[in-house]
Amino acid sequence: MLARFISIWFPNLATDHQIRVRPELYGLEFALSVPERGRMLVRAVSAEAGALGIETGMVVADARAILPSLIVLDHEAEVTRLALQALAEWCLRYTPTVALHAPDGLVLDVTGCAYLWGGEHAYMHDLTARLTQAGYTVRAAMADTVGLAWAHAHFGRPGAIVPSGEQHNALLKLPPAALRLAPETLEKMQKLGFYHINNFIGIPPRMLRRRFGDDMLDKLNKALGYSQEFIEPIRQAVPYQERLPCLEPIVTATGIEIALQKLLETLCGRLMKEGKGLRKSILSCFRVDGKMQQIDIVTNRASHHVKHLFRLFELKIKTIAPGFGIELFLLEAPEVEDMTATQETMWDTAGGFENAAITELLDAVAGRAGTETIQRYLPDEHHWPERSVKVVASLRQKPETSWRTDRQRPVFLLPKPEIIEVTAPVPDYPPTGFRYKGKVHYIKKSEGPERIEQEWWLQRGLHRDYYTLENQEGQRYWVFRLGPYSEEKEEDLPKWFIHGFFA
């Protein structure tokens, strides 16, 4: 498939945006100015001011001499840049690959997208018509190369669609400036009488290079498609995504469900062929008023099970506000994992976390209550209790070590040990009682000590002597003494802490 690009030029972007932000300026003669070398120069003019002879680059004082009623505003380059960025994000409904062509243009890679609108002419008309209705002055063109599309957007017929393979003929009648050449190069060409590209396109490349340099030849080759030109999208395209444009705006939940079902079937079919399963999916709904609604799901295990994924999305469809209607649906899978055919055939027969009932239950709970409500813990290769457990995100992740079973460990471990007051017949003996949160616990049974040293390669510090204590009510606690007992200095008595609770 041949690449196709659209270049969009907004000749009056700065003033058009001002009118959108300040509608009271509509129909008025105004200009945006910038300071340069101690003078105020006109950077952009409204269509009404331009019709009366005010031009870009003119000194503001001269412009006011021509039109005393001219309104002059400060030009804010950052505001214009943000407006261009917003337009680029709006164009994502037409293609996933949109790049900025500062200061007043965009480049769209529309390869394989036009058929969704019924062809290139319908695609171009819909794009330019919507931008025009939004209040922007637009010139656009479509071609096989970025350079040729830019050339026709700026110097050709508005809305031009250059047929594939016609780059050479399409360039002949355009001026040299259509190649995006430097001003000094254009001045040389003007002196030599090169008023159109057909005046020099047949000259041998080595002669053009000697006269005008490598840049001129490089720009010509890119426009003709002899060398490739890369663009930098505003957002990296998600490799797994499906689009569904609507002939009529969708305003009902039933319509959204039908669109979602079709997108899931297409996306999951592709994932299945490639041996993949999604872990996260995002449904974006582009409304006719330019706003976007989004819902997303996450799964605990890679899946391309359409019914299960639809049920997860179904929980959130009611949060979508269609407004005056949704014109485009976009389903993305930004996170995918490898998934074997064996995993899918075992969907309803495997045990443990491979059991579909368990994974579907976990996904449903996460969809209703949030992903942070479900945590999975695996043993970690550390002796220090706080580091012996780690949180993992995937159900497929296998433990690197087994759970320790030679010694009992509490069911609930405090994230940070809490200090307690302890009574012991001999300071380094097990406690006979302790006070925790104002309550005194008298010990009936005790077991220990179990000494756990610091992991010196991670952190240096005192060792811990752990005891399992049971009070008169049968409640069991895990406490420890920090550091050794010393009879030499009573003021240096070790401190006691509570660290966990048994069932």
Please say whether the dihedral angle defined by the alpha carbons of residues 286, 290, 295 and 296, taken in this order, is positive or negative.
Answer: positive
Between the alpha carbon of residue 381 and those of residues 17, 31, 206, the distances in Å are: 59, 69, 67
| pLDDT of the chain, 503 residues: tens digit per residue | 578 999 999 999 999 999 988 999 999 999 999 998 788 999 999 989 999 999 998 999 999 999 999 999 999 889 999 999 999 989 988 998 999 998 899 999 999 888 888 899 999 999 999 999 999 999 999 999 999 999 999 999 889 999 999 999 999 999 999 999 999 999 999 999 999 999 999 999 899 898 898 999 999 999 999 998 989 998 766 789 999 998 899 999 999 999 999 999 999 999 998 889 998 999 999 998 888 999 999 888 888 889 989 999 998 999 999 999 999 999 999 999 887 654 444 444 444 555 556 666 667 666 666 666 677 778 888 888 888 888 776 666 677 777 777 788 888 889 889 999 998 877 678 899 999 998 999 999 999 889 998 888 888 888 899 999 999 999 999 999 988 876 555 556 788 999 999 97
Predicted local confidence at residue 125, as pLDDT: 94
pLDDT of 169 reads 93
192: phi then psi, degrees, rounded to nearest 5: -85, 0
| Structural fold of domain 241-367 | Dna Ligase; domain 1 (3.30.1490)
Cα distances (Å, whole numbers) of residue 295 to 86, 299, 315, 317, 462? 21, 14, 10, 8, 50
What is the pLDDT at residue 486?
66
User: Which candidate, 334, 471, 478, places its Cα nearest to that of 412?
Assistant: 478
Q: Give the pLDDT confidence score for residue 184 in this predicted structure.
A: 92
pLDDT computed for residue 237 by the predictor: 65
Strands 326-338 and 241-250: antiparallel
> What pLDDT does 310 receive?
93
Q: What is the pLDDT of residue 487?
A: 58
Q: Which residues pair with 44 in a beta bridge?
A: 32
* Domain ranges (residues) in the chain: 1-237, 241-367, 412-501
Distance CA 57, CA 396 (A): 63
Pairing of strands 5-9, 139-143: antiparallel
Q: Which CATH superfamily is domain 1-237 in?
A: Reverse transcriptase/Diguanylate cyclase domain (3.30.70.270)
The predicted structure's pLDDT at residue 349: 44
The set of residues, in sequence order, having a beta carbon less than 8 Å from that of 347 and lying 6+ positions away, is: 305, 356
pTM value > 0.75: no
Q: Which of 308, 307, 312 is nearest to 283 (CA)?
A: 312
Residue 346 is predicted with a pLDDT of 43
User: From the centroid of its chain, how far is CA 71?
Assistant: 40
pLDDT at 350: 46
Q: How many residues does the chain have?
A: 503
